[in-house]
Amino acid sequence: MTVRPRIELHPQDHVYRAPVTQYLYWRVTSEFRRPDGVLKRVYLINGLFPGPTVEARSGDTLIITVTNALSGDLIAIHWHGLHVANAMDGAVGISQCPVPSGGEFVYNLTIPSDQSGTFWYHAHSGVSQADGLYGGLVVHKPASRSTVRGLLPQRYDDPYRYTYDRELLLLIGDWYHRPAGDVLEWYMDPGNFGNEPVPDSLLINGAGHFDCTMAVSARPVDCIDQQLNSSFIDLDPYTTCRVRVVNTGALAGLSLVFDNHLLDLLQVDSVDAARSNKTNINSIGILFPGQRMDFVLRPLLPISENQSHMRVQLDQDSFNYANPALTPDQTFPINYRSNAVEGRPLKAHHLNIGEAPSASSILRAIPPTAQQTHVVYTKIQKMARFSNKPFGYFNQTTWKPQQDPPIPLASLPRTKWDANQFAIPTGPEPAWIDLVINNLDEGSHPFHMHGHHFYVLAVHQAEFGWGSYNPFIDKIPPHLKSDADAWRNGTDDAQTLNRGYSSGFYDISRAAFRDTVQIPSRGYAVLRFRADNPGLRMLAMENYALLLEI
């Protein structure tokens, strides 16, 4: 068994060269393994869990041949965050058929010249992502032409004006001990009232540690107390490191806390972040499933090996019941390559990435208004006609793959779509779109848009009521009603309430450019994006799916 908790990256192999075409050959299999000591069937790519880490540079082309060597399982791969052609998006039922057992599919991915950062790939057929079919994908930003190789062998030209010596990738996520299919079956059982299954453990780069005595008697597991290989955080106390983090989990958001280290946020969802005005930051989050964050980790000298740890804290907001097996806060040692010296305590200062705007250079592209506005409402409902099983709805439509005929929608005339397909057309020409998503559900959820990034202009959660917003009806958005002094003084004057924002009711200077957003329970988000990557694109969350016809 190949164990490789530490994933060290090699930017020096990519930032100085011209764009190339990389040919990769992946064979997907499965095997029983013990990622955290508990035996479970796990998906492998070329014998690896997580799958191989792909490193490239902006402008590269990736030709990835995926062979399904599984027995009976259907697979497809989505390239999360990359703006790829519609046919290569990996969305089963939308852009491709699943790859059958014994079959293969060739993904031809041209990385846009203006995209770089931390991405990942994962299964987009069934629930196999939760059983380990995922991996990291890092696109390095090319060095500027003025950079001379050899003069800056490690601290290459960096757009953030930070310096760092190494790069590490952390794939962190919650983990279920039962097969994901069994977890889904439990969730769909009407007797469980639509409560989302609480995970049992967490993994970092495919490794974790589970205390066998914590196992629930009603769900017995084959568990051994195995030593955790914690080399995923392997540092030198006298150097700095860029850490790229992906939340690969199914349900829980996560935060990270570092002892005796400070951090500077670089990117969220592969987009440059504005410099924070906070100091002495050593805690960051919440990073929700599908999201990524990059930061520079700096040792706070002097430092002591026995005092330095990384703590992973799972956000329990979506946990509607207690799972005694789960330890939601876990501590992992930071290993040092050279001798450390005596450390000193540091008071934790937290950076909330949900409130971190993108860099001003990114925000300059936002127009003051959109050309189109669309409003949708989402909720998980249990309907009698579906035997009270929970299904996610967008505007009273629950998405299911096309059945008659059972081919991807992108290959089917719109007149042939069945009643389970709800799509918002944006027109034949590129256009700026405002999409208002109202989450009427009792739980918060992450929503991911395929093939595009969007500007998050507003996120709001109501203190009471449904918390919805319809700009065609509501004179004043609730996110201004709740915090405007003018509103508290009894005025409903729109000019007073917009506080002089250059874009109506939205403070563009605080916008964030993302491809995944967490929308709170009984709340909404206003997203502005340019619809310019043609095709049928999914806006997806768990068993929600909305189609954007671009």
What is the residue-wise DSSP string for 197-258? PPPSEEEETTB----GGG--TTS---B--PPP--TTSEE-TTS-EEEEEEE--SS--EEEEE
Cβ proximity of 478 and 460 under 8 Å: yes
Mean pLDDT of 475-486: 70
d(CA 83, CA 111): 7
pLDDT at 360 over 80: yes
Q: What is the pLDDT of residues 102-160, one digit of tens each?
A: 999 999 999 999 999 999 999 998 899 999 999 999 999 998 754 443 333 344 444 44
Pairing of strands 261-268, 292-299: antiparallel
Torsion, Cα 273 274 276 281, to 10 degrees, reads 20
Cβ proximity of 103 and 136 under 8 Å: no
Model confidence band, residue 392 (pLDDT cutoffs 50, 70, 90): confident
Question: What pLDDT score was predicted for residue 345?
Answer: 58
Percent of the chain exceeding pLDDT 90 equals: 67
pLDDT at 465 over 60: yes
Question: What pLDDT score was predicted for residue 549?
Answer: 83
pLDDT at 406 over 60: yes
Model confidence band, residue 382 (pLDDT cutoffs 50, 70, 90): confident
Question: What pLDDT score was predicted for residue 340?
Answer: 53
User: Three-state DSSP class for 130?
Assistant: helix
Question: What pLDDT score was predicted for residue 399?
Answer: 87
Q: What is the pLDDT of residues 37-76, one digit of tens each?
A: 999 999 999 999 999 999 999 999 999 999 999 998 999 9
Question: What pLDDT score was predicted for residue 152?
Answer: 39
Model confidence band, residue 223 (pLDDT cutoffs 50, 70, 90): very high
pLDDT at 484 over 70: no
Question: What pLDDT score was predicted for residue 548?
Answer: 80
Going by the DSSP 8-state scheme, the letter that residue 386 receives in this structure is G
pLDDT at 16 over 70: yes
Cβ proximity of 417 and 402 under 8 Å: yes
Among 180-194, 221-235, 304-318, the range with the most confident prediction by mean pLDDT is 180-194
Indicate the helix (H) or strand (E) that contains 363. helix 360-363
Cβ proximity of 42 and 49 under 8 Å: yes
Q: What is the DSSP string of 242-286?
A: EEEEEE--SS--EEEEETTEEEEEEEETTEEBPPPS--S--EEEE
pLDDT at 217 over 60: yes
CATH code linked to domain 7-356: 2.60.40.420
**Terminal Cα distance for the chain, rounded:** 45
Homologous superfamily (CATH) for 362-549? Cupredoxins -  blue copper proteins (2.60.40.420)
Mean pLDDT of 185-212: 94
Going by the DSSP 8-state scheme, the letter that residue 350 receives in this structure is E
Strand-pairing partners, residue 299, are 261
Question: What pLDDT score was predicted for residue 278?
Answer: 86
**What's the full length of the chain, in residues?**
550
Domain ranges of the chain: 7-356, 362-549
CA angle, residues 402, 525, 510, in degrees to nearest 5: 135
Cβ proximity of 23 and 61 under 8 Å: no
Cβ proximity of 162 and 266 under 8 Å: yes
User: Structure tokens of 479?
Assistant: 């996110």
Least confident interval from 79-83, 374-378, 414-418 = 414-418
Question: What pLDDT score was predicted for residue 282?
Answer: 92
Judge whether 7-356 and 362-549 match in fold: yes
| Residue 152 CB-density burial (10 A; 0-12 exposed, 13-18 middle, 19+ buried) | middle
The answer to whether the predicted template modeling score (pTM) of the entire model surpasses 0.85 is yes
Question: What pLDDT score was predicted for residue 48?
Answer: 97
Report the sign of the C-alpha dihedral through residues 342, 347, 353, 359, in that order. negative
Question: What pLDDT score was predicted for residue 155?
Answer: 42
Question: 209-215 contacts: CB < 8 A, separation 24 or more?
Answer: 209/36, 209/37, 209/330, 210/36, 210/37, 210/38, 210/177, 210/325, 211/327, 212/37, 212/38, 214/324, 214/325, 214/326, 214/327, 215/38, 215/325
3-state helix/strand/coil string of 470-529: CCCCCCCCHHHHCCCHHHHCCCCCHHHHCCCCCECCECHHHCEEECEEEECCCEEEEEEE
Mean pLDDT of 94-107: 96
pLDDT at 489 over 50: no
d(CA 243, CA 297): 7
The rounded mean pLDDT for the chain is: 88
Neighbours of 369 (CB within 10 A): 12
Question: What pLDDT score was predicted for residue 149?
Answer: 39
Neighbours of 83 (CB within 10 A): 19
Neighbours of 505 (CB within 10 A): 19
Cβ proximity of 90 and 79 under 8 Å: yes
pLDDT at 227 over 90: no
Residue with more model confidence, 492 or 324: 324
d(CA 238, CA 337): 10
Contacts of 487 (CB under 8 A, 6+ apart): 476, 480, 481, 497
Cβ proximity of 246 and 357 under 8 Å: no
Residue with more model confidence, 184 or 152: 184
